[in-house]
Amino acid sequence: DTGVSQDPRHKITKRGQNVTFRCDPISEHNRLYWYRQTLGQGPEFLTYFQNEAQLEKSRLLSDRFSAERPKGSFSTLEIQRTEQGDSAMYLCASSGSGEGWETQYFGPGTRLLVL
Protein backbone atom coordinates (compact mmCIF):
# COMPACT_ATOMS: atom_id res chain seq x y z
CA ASP A 1 0.00 0.00 0.00
CA THR A 2 1.76 3.11 -1.25
CA GLY A 3 -0.92 5.57 -0.25
CA VAL A 4 -2.56 8.24 -2.36
CA SER A 5 -0.22 9.91 -4.84
CA GLN A 6 -0.66 13.16 -6.74
CA ASP A 7 1.20 14.60 -9.67
CA PRO A 8 2.60 17.16 -10.06
CA ARG A 9 3.35 18.35 -6.55
CA HIS A 10 3.77 21.93 -7.69
CA LYS A 11 2.54 23.80 -10.75
CA ILE A 12 3.15 27.39 -11.77
CA THR A 13 1.16 28.65 -14.71
CA LYS A 14 0.15 31.88 -16.34
CA ARG A 15 -3.38 33.18 -16.20
CA GLY A 16 -5.45 31.79 -19.05
CA GLN A 17 -3.53 28.53 -19.40
CA ASN A 18 -5.05 25.10 -18.84
CA VAL A 19 -3.68 22.75 -16.20
CA THR A 20 -4.33 19.10 -15.38
CA PHE A 21 -3.62 17.28 -12.15
CA ARG A 22 -3.55 13.55 -11.58
CA CYS A 23 -4.49 11.51 -8.53
CA ASP A 24 -3.77 7.83 -7.98
CA PRO A 25 -5.82 6.49 -5.06
CA ILE A 26 -5.01 3.56 -2.81
CA SER A 27 -5.37 0.60 -5.11
CA GLU A 28 -8.41 -1.12 -3.61
CA HIS A 29 -10.33 2.10 -2.92
CA ASN A 30 -13.37 2.74 -5.08
CA ARG A 31 -14.21 6.19 -3.71
CA LEU A 32 -12.22 9.25 -4.71
CA TYR A 33 -12.58 12.87 -3.61
CA TRP A 34 -11.11 16.21 -4.66
CA TYR A 35 -10.76 19.13 -2.27
CA ARG A 36 -9.32 22.61 -2.61
CA GLN A 37 -7.45 24.36 0.18
CA THR A 38 -6.60 28.05 0.10
CA LEU A 39 -4.14 29.69 2.44
CA GLY A 40 -5.34 29.80 6.02
CA GLN A 41 -8.45 27.75 5.34
CA GLY A 42 -9.52 24.18 5.72
CA PRO A 43 -10.03 21.99 2.65
CA GLU A 44 -13.28 22.51 0.75
CA PHE A 45 -15.04 19.69 -1.05
CA LEU A 46 -15.03 19.85 -4.84
CA THR A 47 -16.25 16.54 -6.18
CA TYR A 48 -16.69 12.84 -5.45
CA PHE A 49 -16.42 9.66 -7.52
CA GLN A 50 -17.61 6.19 -6.75
CA ASN A 51 -15.80 3.98 -9.22
CA GLU A 52 -16.04 5.88 -12.52
CA ALA A 53 -19.26 7.70 -11.68
CA GLN A 54 -19.08 11.32 -10.56
CA LEU A 55 -21.82 11.42 -7.94
CA GLU A 56 -21.50 14.88 -6.48
CA LYS A 57 -20.10 18.24 -7.50
CA SER A 58 -19.75 21.31 -5.33
CA ARG A 59 -20.95 24.67 -6.55
CA LEU A 60 -17.29 25.66 -6.19
CA LEU A 61 -16.62 23.57 -9.29
CA SER A 62 -17.28 26.14 -11.97
CA ASP A 63 -17.63 25.38 -15.67
CA ARG A 64 -13.88 25.82 -16.04
CA PHE A 65 -13.27 22.79 -13.82
CA SER A 66 -13.74 19.21 -14.95
CA ALA A 67 -12.86 15.96 -13.26
CA GLU A 68 -12.78 12.47 -14.64
CA ARG A 69 -12.12 8.97 -13.45
CA PRO A 70 -12.47 7.00 -16.67
CA LYS A 71 -11.64 3.49 -15.50
CA GLY A 72 -12.46 3.84 -11.84
CA SER A 73 -8.81 4.01 -10.90
CA PHE A 74 -6.83 7.25 -11.26
CA SER A 75 -8.56 10.60 -11.61
CA THR A 76 -7.71 13.86 -13.33
CA LEU A 77 -8.78 17.38 -12.46
CA GLU A 78 -8.52 19.93 -15.24
CA ILE A 79 -8.81 23.68 -14.88
CA GLN A 80 -9.33 25.62 -18.09
CA ARG A 81 -8.48 29.28 -18.54
CA THR A 82 -6.90 29.54 -15.11
CA GLU A 83 -7.45 32.63 -12.99
CA GLN A 84 -5.38 33.97 -10.12
CA GLY A 85 -8.16 32.96 -7.75
CA ASP A 86 -7.52 29.33 -8.67
CA SER A 87 -4.20 29.44 -6.81
CA ALA A 88 -4.57 26.87 -4.04
CA MET A 89 -3.58 23.42 -2.88
CA TYR A 90 -5.62 20.70 -4.60
CA LEU A 91 -5.99 17.63 -2.46
CA CYS A 92 -7.13 14.19 -3.48
CA ALA A 93 -8.43 11.57 -1.05
CA SER A 94 -9.68 8.02 -1.37
CA SER A 95 -11.67 5.60 0.71
CA GLY A 96 -12.77 2.01 0.40
CA SER A 97 -16.12 0.26 0.55
CA GLY A 98 -17.52 -1.75 3.40
CA GLU A 99 -16.36 -1.22 6.93
CA GLY A 100 -14.28 1.91 7.28
CA TRP A 101 -15.53 3.47 4.04
CA GLU A 102 -16.02 6.77 5.82
CA THR A 103 -12.32 7.25 6.44
CA GLN A 104 -10.59 9.25 3.74
CA TYR A 105 -6.86 9.04 3.14
CA PHE A 106 -5.27 12.11 1.62
CA GLY A 107 -2.50 12.55 -0.88
CA PRO A 108 0.27 15.17 -0.53
CA GLY A 109 -1.58 17.64 -2.73
CA THR A 110 -0.76 19.69 -5.81
CA ARG A 111 0.06 23.32 -5.11
CA LEU A 112 -1.04 25.57 -7.98
CA LEU A 113 0.18 29.12 -8.44
CA VAL A 114 -1.41 31.19 -11.18
CA LEU A 115 0.58 34.26 -12.17
Partner 1 sequence: AQSVTQPDIHITVSEGASLELRCNYSYGATPYLFWYVQSPGQGLQLLLKYFSGDTLVQGIKGFEAEFKRSQSSFNLRKPSVHWSDAAEYFCAVGARAGGTSYGKLTFGQGTILTVHP
Query: Which residues of this protein are in contact with partner 1, per CB under 8 A?
Result: 4, 31, 33, 35, 40-45, 48, 50, 56, 91, 93, 95, 101-109, 111
What are the CA-CA distances from residue 14 to residues 28, 31, 72, 81 (Å)?
36, 32, 31, 9
**Min CB(25)–partner 1 separation in Å:** 13
Rounded Cα distance between 38 and 44, Å, is: 9
**Min CB(55)–partner 1 separation in Å:** 8
**Min CB(81)–partner 1 separation in Å:** 27
Between 1 and 102, CB nearer to partner 1: 102
Burial of 103 (0-12, 13-18, 19+ CB in 10 A): exposed
Between 19 and 93, CB nearer to partner 1: 93
